[in-house]
């Protein structure tokens, strides 16, 4: 593929007057989509809030069984991935260095993969400890009943978050290939920018999940 392909702005779709309108529309579309995502997670956060206020002790104890080190490492990994994501967007905006864009995208993918891997280790631990809700649930602490509710929410919230991560990694993989083919540059970087927005959003969700799930009663 010849080099100058990357310098061509992507053709404006027929419904738009110009590339600016197209970019504005795409950006607004992504923001609106993220609003729906907030509401989507918001349902779960609401449920969490209600049950935690009903059963604060049970939630505190159950939270104590989570592996805070792995959770903290994952938080750092995810924040790091947001940095590489931001660098990918910035590089696409200001330079035609396709390798650098792809490199930052791949770094984000790797960090996302590390996050998911650690999450998998945590899930496996919970599985061995019989903390997965359902018929085989077993919990030795006080108020096992409501602790199960906590673990329901733990798996649902982190599971939904992980699903978003998987989708994000998929999107980034496509972008990385596109970047290597020189599709992005200062005149056209919308997909990188919008995927970046999505990735940061997923990151921010985790920033809320981590304290709500892992740090409920760490002071005692």
Backbone phi, then psi, for 185, in 5-degree steps?
A: -175, -175
Site for other proteins, residues 19 to 38, rule: CB under 8 A: 21, 24-25, 28-29, 32-33, 35-37
Our finding on whether 5 is near other proteins (CB under 8 A) is no
Number of CB atoms found within 10 A of residue 145's CB: 10
* 52 CA to centre of own chain: 24
- Stretch (H or E) spanning 202: helix 190-214
Closer to other proteins by CB, 47 or 86: give it. Answer: 47
Q: Classify the phi-psi angles of 66: left when phi > 0, otherwise alpha if psi is within -120 to 50, otherwise beta.
A: beta
| Residue 216 makes contact with other proteins by CB under 8 A | no
Q: From the list 14, 18, 53, 220, which residue makes contact with other proteins (rule: CB under 8 A)?
A: 14
Nearer to other proteins, 2 or 140 (CB): 140
Nearer to other proteins, 45 or 97 (CB): 45
CA quadruple 115, 121, 127, 131: dihedral positive or negative?
negative
Q: Which residues contact 41 (CB under 8 A, 6 or more apart)?
A: 157, 160, 161, 205
The reply to whether 135 sits near other proteins by the rule CB under 8 A is yes
> Which one of 114, 156, 178, 197 is in contact with other proteins (CB under 8 A)?
156
> Which residues here bind other proteins, judged by CB under 8 A?
13-16, 21, 24-25, 28-29, 32-33, 35-37, 39-44, 46-47, 50-51, 54-55, 58, 133-135, 145-146, 148-149, 152-153, 155-156
């Amino acid at each position: 593929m010849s080099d100058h392909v990357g310098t061509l702005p992507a053709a404006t779709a027929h419904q738009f007057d110009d590339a600016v309108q197209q970019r504005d529309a795409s950006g607004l579309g992504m923001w609106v989509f993220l609003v729906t995502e907030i509401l989507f997670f918001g349902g779960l956060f609401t449920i969490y809030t209600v049950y935690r206020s009903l059963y604060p002790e049970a939630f505190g104890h159950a939270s104590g069984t989570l592996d805070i080190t792995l959770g903290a490492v994952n938080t750092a990994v995810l924040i790091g991935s947001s940095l590489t994501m931001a660098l990918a967007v910035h590089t696409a905006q200001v330079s035609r260095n396709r390798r650098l864009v792809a490199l930052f995208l791949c770094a984000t993918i790797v960090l996302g993969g590390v996050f998911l891997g650690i999450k998998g280790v945590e899930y496996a631990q919970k599985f061995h400890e019989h903390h997965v809700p359902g018929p085989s649930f077993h919990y030795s602490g006080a108020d096992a009943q409501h602790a199960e509710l906590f673990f329901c929410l733990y798996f649902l919230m982190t599971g939904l978050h992980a699903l978003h991560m998987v989708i994000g990694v998929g999107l980034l993989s496509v972008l990385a290939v596109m970047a290597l083919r020189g599709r992005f540059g200062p005149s056209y970087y919308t997909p990188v920018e919008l995927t970046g927005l999505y990735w940061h959003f997923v990151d921010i969700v985790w920033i809320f999940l981590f304290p709500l799930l892992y740090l409920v009663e760490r002071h005692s």
